[in-house]
């Protein structure tokens, strides 16, 4: 249920609605848009007719709208304007196209520092890198842990690039939050509800990857877990879904980009590296993602992909990343996006 | 097996190889590239060592290459240069971006003629329209048959746009060939081998849609059926695959575009109308397809989608199609494609 | 729309309803059950209120039921009793469990005859074998054609086993009908509507395999094509669907068995050979299919699977087939099915 | 790598091998089979030739086998005999067929107690019930927490049935372990590696559900996480995978049963309730699972499915569960399984 307040409603009228909800055992989530204020009341559909009438009688209330979609806080109905998330000087979800780039996993100082410098020089806005890595096999590299976070922090110190990294365990959230600017919840954890609750209680943006067999509705419901805990800074990331096609590692579902823009106010970026699993497909799919309306990209870059401890096959070299950024600029312009890429 | 001829080999040396193959009960398919001639010998992998040695001893032969991929004539190894297909003045697979547009099914003279005029005015190069329609239910509209072909011919007469239409039955191939410029084999018939054989014996380009659960390899093998019969003018068309996601009718697999360009010399176009099933997703996915490197688009346009006998939900109105064409131009330019769109 | 006649209605009342339908431009399909007669009227949902009222006023009519399901003739509502199909002395869809066994493709006289004798000895009721084979690659074995049909006919002559074989081309239907007792439409042709129409006009049972990405509803609609042409003898065959799992060739969907029994009156059998693609999985899945309520099995058997021209990996040897039949008997008995297996 | 010890090797020879491995920085996992002892050395494929030679020279060592499969401890090569897990008097993975039944979620004392009595009376061996529930939406019922565990403990107290319940959070493992006999890791957490590690350090059997888009190999690798931490009591549970078919909630993959028996020594049970999502499909698929060789079943039972807080549509009533148990007995007998069901 959504309570839409009148355009010119007063502060007190809003708190009165919240108070009345609270007396009925409900909780209202406030959304102050540019044009008007909207109050999301979760968990009460179908709403009782009495409650609806009672609320519509309150001063300042324009209308009470039942919602049939199972997600609310993440829906376009709840918040018509795009959510724009600020990370230092970078805006995600606005006119600017955001490029997050870096190695799959932080491995060595040399690797992290050289990659950070290279992606910054080519025009990336945010540095990505994994310290805690989920791995299908217990015998594979699982990341450097806090050591990896320290390497990333050093790279941020030098380049000024904000950081995004994955967090795997609820108990690591606090530690990771100290080092980085955006917390990533990986595809395998999209329905790890304990972790979603935890990152929902943090005051940092969360990058929520789509689960490999998650429908768009389930994905928005996972976002809803985070939003419902109070953290409104969620960035969605399409990274491919699992299908019968096995030439690619996953099937990148670019339809998700305009669908999310239609259903939700949250920004959506695309990860063509995991989405295809092959470096030579990253560039064409990155261009396609931007043309489809993505708010940004997440790209794996590695100084020597052949010797990467993780996911080398899908990483771009510095040179290939630079070439991609050069190709990206005119496509971004063609769809009226700003991009901070250096001229070739 | 592929016999690669020397750059400067003589005509007679080529015919000698073909003759020797024929004596061994094999059939060679000639491919005269700009740089050199290559002879595909199908159906003989693993090749007999004797045969290979014998062939390599012939004058003019540079080398004999076994192929592990199951398709041959459609492979990039067999023909390194892109196949460019000419349909009247339109080239498919070259620099030019081809836009095929029109109604899902030809319904009435008024509908076909008005749509033909509108898509031409907006910049489409080829008119699409169905006369024989496959339908999941026996109780739904199955097309006007030859009557539909006549309406399309009338639209071609007036607008000069070449025609593409689907053929369902092997025995209709001859009839359809008389009316249209490109024969379409639909997704449900991608492994109808009898039909593939039949269109392979015709001297008209064939648009081969990807089956809804076909891997890229199976799709190239379906193309191989047509090529093996002698028809080298095959255009591939990605139109979405079947996955668990049900917000869209299919999941458009844009990775297929750069993959086909890598594996094959055949042109590939994209159908975002069937690929998404929702008209408001057609435009962003069309832009994405072009950015990913597609050689063209196949778009459904209808004067009044609400009253369409078939697939109205995914058809663009004239106005939306025109808007798409205006947006398409700068994206095409950004990826260095020529497009014949009128200025808005 | 279904017109349910009264229990004690007269012949003339039925013909009156049919006549009235015909005057309204509609066609009624008669279904004379043990208890009552039902008339299916296809293609008229939503029905006009006038038509419904008019029909309900006719003598002998009990009620007129609109149907929301898109298939009608194949639905359990249309025909509450199971369809039981007689092929010589074998009944498909009744108490008896039917086992169709034989080679994927007829290759040689020796192979066909020895297999026919072996499967008969072990208890199979029907001989399967392919003469026209669909093949993903144009360079693979495509069957012996009429030569294969002759070999099968010879095996029938000696063993008395009725025959089932696949028909690929509409123009071959007449030829195949002359030789065999059940026509098979393969998974790749499940939506080859031209072929469905053709086998719908024949007076022979049709075995309709589920398409590899067909939903159950689409499968019943494909059956509806055959039924709508007048051929009511359709046997459905679950043979696995395409999923992300690649350990097996397909994912055998045994839920389809009770679902079909719920939605439809048509018999359903299961093909664990194509459904798994691995011979050592055939036996456990065959037992499971029978436990789930399948009316029969379709099993590939080959004298020397290692040297089979087609699908050897999924074929049972004579010995393994005999072992399976011995294991099958107690499971069949446990679910109250009769089976003609010899004691071990 | 697996070190196979000689049949008659001495205790000291085994400890010598372990010591030598430890000196090389490796860890050996001991598996004492009935016939011989095998030592799994994880994380070292491809093995260094020197290490292999060195180990083969040690007294008592029969051979050193490299393993190409990515999982080791869960593989049939590592342990040829079936793992049989004892939970009080119930054996899982042996001759006996295990039936775990109960409500999806523990809701009230009345509901838990009546269900426990009913399933016990009908022949179930283990009581299932959820206290911590994963839910796709943050606004749905998420379980009673410790209160639910207490209700389950009370039911165990009265009926003597061992308990299985899901654990969601790593920090709840200790709490849940105090109350129940088997810890369940749900499908959504199959690749929650933090949780897998945690339950791997506990001395209680773990029921590991297959992720809804997990391949069989990924599933065995998830089991490997638990085994690698030292907990060898893992029970696998097939519960349906996500496919395009939407008539059922998931597609139950019964091929997984014989495949797991071939690849692994771990027991496998089947959950037809989640696997189909419809109560009327539970019984036929339960029979099929047993016929395919499953070691047990996990079935949802609820006193009043219509009013269940969670997953009512797939729950059996007491009456339906009893009917299922009666039908199960002859099928179990047919495949040579013991079952403790009361006679009807």
Residue A88 forms contact with D (CB below 8 Å)? no
Neighbours of A20 (CB within 10 A): 17
Task: Report DSSP state, residue B342.
Answer: P
Q: What pLDDT score does D344 carry?
A: 41
CB contact under 8 A, C291 and D293: no
- Measured in angstroms, the CA of C218 and the nearest CA of chain D are apart by 10
Neighbours of B55 (CB within 10 A): 20
| Whole-prediction pTM | 0.86
Q: What is the pLDDT of residues C150-195, one digit of tens each?
A: 999 999 999 999 999 999 999 999 999 999 999 999 999 999 999 9
Q: Is the pLDDT of residue C43 over 60?
A: no
Task: Report DSSP state, residue D61.
Answer: E
* Buried-state track D174-209, b at ≥16 Cβ within 10 A, e below 16: ebbeebbbbbbbbbbbbbbbbbbbbbbebebbbbbb
Q: What is the pLDDT of residues B214-264, one digit of tens each?
A: 999 999 999 999 999 999 999 999 999 999 999 999 999 999 999 999 999
Contacting residues of C for D277, CB less than 8 Å apart: none
Residue C247 forms contact with A (CB below 8 Å)? no
Residue B246 forms contact with D (CB below 8 Å)? yes
D59 close to D68: Cβ distance less than 8 angstroms: no
Residue C246 forms contact with A (CB below 8 Å)? yes
Q: Which residue in chain C is spatially nearest to B195 when comparing CA positions?
A: C169
Mean pLDDT value of segment C2-23: 85
Contacting residues of D for C320, CB less than 8 Å apart: none
Does the N-terminal peptide bond of residue B73 adopt cis geometry, omega within 30 degrees of 0?
no
Query: Cα separation of D207 and D204, whole Å?
Result: 10
Residue C243 forms contact with B (CB below 8 Å)? no
Q: Which residue in chain B is spatially nearest to A293 when comparing CA positions?
A: B284
Q: Is the pLDDT of residue C16 over 80?
A: yes
Contacting residues of A for B254, CB less than 8 Å apart: 252, 254, 285, 288
CB contact under 8 A, B139 and C43: yes
Query: Cα separation of C162 and C127, whole Å?
Result: 6
Q: What pLDDT score does A181 carry?
A: 98
Mean pLDDT value of segment D6-13: 86
Q: Which residue in chain C is spatially nearest to A242 when comparing CA positions?
A: C244
Q: What pLDDT score does A272 carry?
A: 98
ipTM: 0.86
Burial of B24 (0-12, 13-18, 19+ CB in 10 A): middle
Task: Report DSSP state, residue B305.
Answer: G
Choosing among C41, C137, C240, which should be mutated to test the B contact, i.e. which has the most B CBs within 10 A? C137
Selected residues 211-240 of chain B with any CB under 8 Å from a CB in chain A: 213, 215-217
Residue C293 forms contact with D (CB below 8 Å)? yes
Query: Which residues does D26 contact at the CB level (< 8 Å), separation at least 6?
Result: D41, D43, D44
Q: How confident is the model at residue D322 (pLDDT cuts 50, 70, 90)?
A: very high
Q: Which of the other chains make 3 or more beta carbon contacts under 8 angstroms with chain B?
A: A, C, D
Q: What is the pLDDT of residues A134-192, one digit of tens each?
A: 888 887 778 899 999 999 999 999 999 999 999 999 999 999 999 999 999 999 999 99
Structure tokens that stand for C236 in this block: 């459905």
A179 close to A167: Cβ distance less than 8 angstroms: no
Choosing among D71, D215, D217, D245, which should be mutated to test the C contact, i.e. which has the most C CBs within 10 A? D245
- Measured in angstroms, the CA of D271 and the nearest CA of chain B are apart by 21
CB contact under 8 A, D288 and C333: no
Q: Which residue in chain A is spatially nearest to C213 when comparing CA positions?
A: A244
- Listed in order, strand segments (DSSP E) in A186-312 are 206-209, 234-238, 268-270, 296-300
The SS3 assignment for B59 reads coil
CB contact under 8 A, A221 and D43: no
A258 close to B280: Cβ distance less than 8 angstroms: yes
Q: What is the pLDDT of residues C263-298, one digit of tens each?
A: 999 999 999 999 999 999 999 999 999 999 999 999
Mean pLDDT value of segment B161-189: 97
Q: Mean of the per-residue pLDDT values for chain B?
A: 91
Residue D280 forms contact with C (CB below 8 Å)? yes
Nearest to A330 among B243, B284, B334 (CB): B334
Q: Is the pLDDT of residue B342 over 70?
A: no
Residue D334 forms contact with C (CB below 8 Å)? yes
CB contact under 8 A, A244 and B215: yes
Share of chain D above pLDDT 70, in %: 94
Q: What pLDDT score does C222 carry?
A: 97
Alpha-carbon distance values, D212 to C202, D191, D219, D241 (Å): 43, 11, 10, 4
Q: What is the pLDDT of residues A237-278, one digit of tens each?
A: 999 999 999 999 999 999 999 999 999 999 999 999 999 999
Q: CB-side exposure of C38: number of CA atoms within 13 Å?
A: 20
Q: Mean of the per-residue pLDDT values for chain C?
A: 91
- Measured in angstroms, the CA of B244 and the nearest CA of chain D are apart by 4
Query: Cα separation of C29 and C200, whole Å?
Result: 14
Q: Which of the other chains make 3 or more beta carbon contacts under 8 angstroms with chain D?
A: A, B, C
Choosing among B213, B244, B251, which should be mutated to test the D contact, i.e. which has the most D CBs within 10 A? B244
Query: Cα separation of B235 and B218, whole Å?
Result: 15
Query: Which residues does A308 contact at the CB level (< 8 Å), separation at least 6?
Result: A103, A104, A105, A107, A302, A315
Residue A336 forms contact with B (CB below 8 Å)? no
Residue B117 forms contact with D (CB below 8 Å)? no
Q: Is the pLDDT of residue A47 over 60?
A: no
Q: What is the pLDDT of residues D124-162, one digit of tens each?
A: 999 999 999 888 888 777 889 999 999 999 999 999 999
Mean pLDDT value of segment B315-337: 96
Structure tokens that stand for B134 in this block: 């496959």
Q: How confident is the model at residue D68 (pLDDT cuts 50, 70, 90)?
A: low
Structure tokens that stand for A251 in this block: 């099937």
Q: Which residue in chain A is spatially nearest to D228 when comparing CA positions?
A: A138
Q: Which residue in chain B is spatially nearest to A329 when comparing CA positions?
A: B334
Contacting residues of B for A253, CB less than 8 Å apart: 243, 245, 251-252
- Measured in angstroms, the CA of C76 and the nearest CA of chain B are apart by 17
Structure tokens that stand for B71 in this block: 């398709």
CB contact under 8 A, B170 and C171: yes
Q: CB-side exposure of B309: number of CA atoms within 13 Å?
A: 20
β-strand C85-87 against C61-65: which pairing, if any? unpaired
């Amino acid at each position: 249920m959504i309570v839409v307040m009148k355009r010119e409603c007063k502060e007190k009228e809003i708190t009165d609605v919240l108070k009345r909800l609270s007396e009925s055992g409900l909780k209202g989530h406030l959304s102050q848009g540019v044009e008007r204020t909207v109050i999301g009341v979760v968990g009460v559909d179908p709403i009782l007719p009495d409650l609806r009438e009672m609320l519509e009688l309150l001063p300042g209330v324009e209308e009470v709208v039942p919602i049939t979609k199972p997600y609310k806080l993440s829906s376009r109905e709840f918040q018509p304007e795009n959510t724009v998330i600020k990370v230092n000087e970078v805006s995600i979800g606005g006119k600017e196209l955001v490029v997050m780039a870096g190695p799959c996993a932080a491995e060595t100082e040399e690797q992290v520092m050289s990659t950070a410098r290279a992606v910054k020089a080519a025009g990336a806005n945010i540095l990505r890198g994994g310290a805690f890595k989920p791995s299908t096999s217990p015998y594979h590299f699982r990341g450097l842990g806090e050591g990896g976070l320290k390497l990333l922090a050093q790279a941020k110190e030098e380049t000024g690039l904000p950081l995004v990294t994955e967090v795997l365990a609820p108990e690591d959230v606090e530690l990771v939050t100290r080092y980085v600017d955006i917390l990533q919840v990986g595809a395998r954890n999209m329905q790890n509800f304990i972790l979603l609750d935890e990152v929902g209680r943090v005051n940092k943006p969360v990058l929520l990857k789509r689960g490999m067999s998650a429908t768009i509705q389930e994905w928005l419901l996972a976002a809803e877990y985070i939003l419902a805990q109070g953290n409104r800074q969620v960035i969605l990331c399409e990274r491919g879904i699992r299908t019968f096609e096995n030439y690619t590692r996953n099937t990148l579902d670019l339809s998700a980009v305009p669908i999310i823009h239609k259903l939700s106010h949250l920004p959506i970026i695309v990860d063509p590296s995991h989405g295809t699993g092959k470096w030579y497909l990253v560039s064409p799919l990155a261009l396609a993602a931007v043309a489809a309306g993505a708010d940004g990209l997440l790209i794996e870059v590695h100084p020597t992909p052949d010797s990467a401890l993780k996911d080398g096959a899908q990483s771009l070299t510095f040179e290939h990343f630079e070439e991609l950024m050069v190709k990206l600029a005119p496509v971004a312009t063609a769809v009226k996006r700003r991009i901070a890429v250096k001229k070739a």
